[in-house]
Amino acid sequence: MLTITRVPTVLSLNQLDSPEKDAKKADKGNFGLKDIVLNEEGLADARLPLYYFLCRKTSFLSKKVRSFGDLQTVPDIDQDSSSGDESDQPRSLFDHTLLAEWENKFEEGLFRYDVTACQTKVIPGDYGFVAQLNEGRATKKRATEFRVDKVLQDFDDSKFNFTKAGANEVLFQFAPNPNEESGFEEAAPVRGAASMVLINVSPIEYGHCLLVPRITDRLPQRVDHSTALLALQMAAESNNPYFRIGYNSLGAYATINHLHFQGYYLMAPFPVERAPTAPLTKLMKRRRADCIISRLQQYPVRGLVFEIGKNLDAMAGQIGMACEVLQTNNIPFNLFIVDCGKRVFLFPQCYAEKQAQGLVPEELLDTGVNPAAFEICGHMVLKRSDDYVNLTEEFTWRLLAEVSLTEERFQEVVKLCFP
C-alpha cells in the first residue's frame, strides 16, 4: 500500500465550536447537516436557501468558447454575442446569489483566514502561470486521511464529511426548476437527496465554494454521468468566464471522500486555456455524441479536452464514461470545467504515486504544492514566501511535468477510455 504522511483530520468550523457557541447557534436556527431528518414525504423541518437552475439536458445553445489555444492571450469576454460586447450584460442570477451569500459568510467570520488578503501575481513567461501566496492553506487546511493508491474507497462516516458541516456553511441548495427557469428562494424545505453548495472554509480564491451532490446520500468521491452533468449545469448558470469548477479524485489530492466539486472566481485566464489542442486520431476528429474530444498540446501535463456542441447531457455522458473507466482501473485524475460549462479538461495523473515511491525531486516536494485540478491548470497556490517570490515559469513547468503520465501510458489510458 502506498501512503503519504498523514495528519489527524481538521474538523469543520461547526465541529470546533464549544458547547456554549453551539447553544448560541441553536438559538439562531443553526444546526449540523447530519441532524437533518426527513419525514415520510421526503421533507425535513429544516429550511435553507434554494437556488433553482435551468435544466439544460437536451439542448444548450452555447456561444463560441473562449479557449482557442492562443498562447499570447485569451479574450476576457466572449465577443461572439449579439451586442458585440458581453461586458454590458448584467451579472447572472447565479453569480449574484453565490457572491452575495459568500460575502455574507465572510462577514460572519466563517472562513479560517482572509483569502482576499493573499498576494497574487502572474509569473513572467509565455503561459502566464498565476502564483498565490496562501500561508493559511499550509496551517489551516484539512489534510488527507485516505490511501493515495486507491481511487475508489468506501464512504467512512467516522471521517470528516460534509454532513458534519454546519447549516451556516451552506450557501444554498442547488436543484433543477420544473418551470425551466432559474430562481432563488431565501428559505425552502430541505428535500431528500438535496444537492448543496457550501463555502470552502479554507478558500483559494474569491467565491470559493463546494458543490456536494445529494449530500445526505453520503456518496464517496466518484464521478458518473449524472454528477458530471450537475457540475456542468452549475457552470452553465454562471455567465462569468472567470468562474471555473474543478474536481480531484482520491489519489489526485482530494482530501475528503465525500463527493464534491470546487469552484471559484479567478480574474485571469488559466494557462491551460491558452494551450493548443489536437485531435487524438482521425477517428476522434469527428464529433462524438455531440462532443468534440481532443488532447492538449504544448502543455506540461498530458490531458484530454471535451468541447460541447449543443447537448450538455451528451457531453456529461462522455465525461462520465471516461471517469468511470479511470476509476475502475484505479487511475487518479482531475477535472477542470471552463467557459461556463462549454469545455472540460481531464487529466489522468501520477504525482501522489511518484511522491509515495520517492521519485519526485526534493526541491519540488519542498514547495508543499499538491498539484490538484487548479494547480495543474496553472494557478499555483504556494505556502512559503520564498517560493512565491522566486517562482519562475521554468520551475512551474518542471513541477507540473512530474504530474503527467508518460506518452506511452497516456496513450494506453486513452485507449481504455475510448476503445
- What are the grid coordinates assigned to 417, written together? 477510455
Q: Where are the alpha helices (DSSP H) in 162-258?
A: 225-237
Q: How far is CA 80 from CA 62, 85, 198, in A?
A: 10, 8, 33
Residue with cell 522566486: 390
Distance CA 245, CA 344 (A): 9
User: Which residue, 334, 416, 419, is CA-closest to 151?
Assistant: 334
Q: Are 143 and 6 in contact (CB under 8 A)?
A: yes
Of the candidates 25, 186, 174, the residue with the CA atom closest to the CA atom of residue 109: 25
Angle 133-345-243 (CA atoms, 0-180°, nearest 5)?
55
Q: Report angle CA 38, 41, 42 to the nearest 5 degrees.
A: 40
Instruction: Indicate the SS3 state at residue 360.
Output: coil
Q: How far apart are the first and last CA of the chain?
A: 30
For 359, phi then psi, to 5°, come to: -100, -5
Assess whether 379 carries a catalytic annotation.
Answer: no
Of 96, 225, 258, 260, catalytic: 260
Helix axes 312-328, 225-237, angle to 10 degrees: 130
Residue type, 406: T
Q: Is 254 helix (H, G, I), strand (E, B) or coil?
A: coil
C-alpha cell at 283: 477517428
Q: Tell me the C-alpha distance between 221 and 147, whole Å.
A: 13
In degrees to the nearest 10, what's the CA dihedral of 171, 176, 182, 186?
-40
Nearest to 325 by CA among 346, 310, 305: 346
Contacts with 87 (C-beta within 8 Å, 6 or more apart), sequence order: 77
Say how far apart CA 137 and CA 202 lie, in whole Å.
7
Cα–Cα distance for residue pair 277/297, rounded to 1 Å: 5
Q: Active-site positions?
A: 260
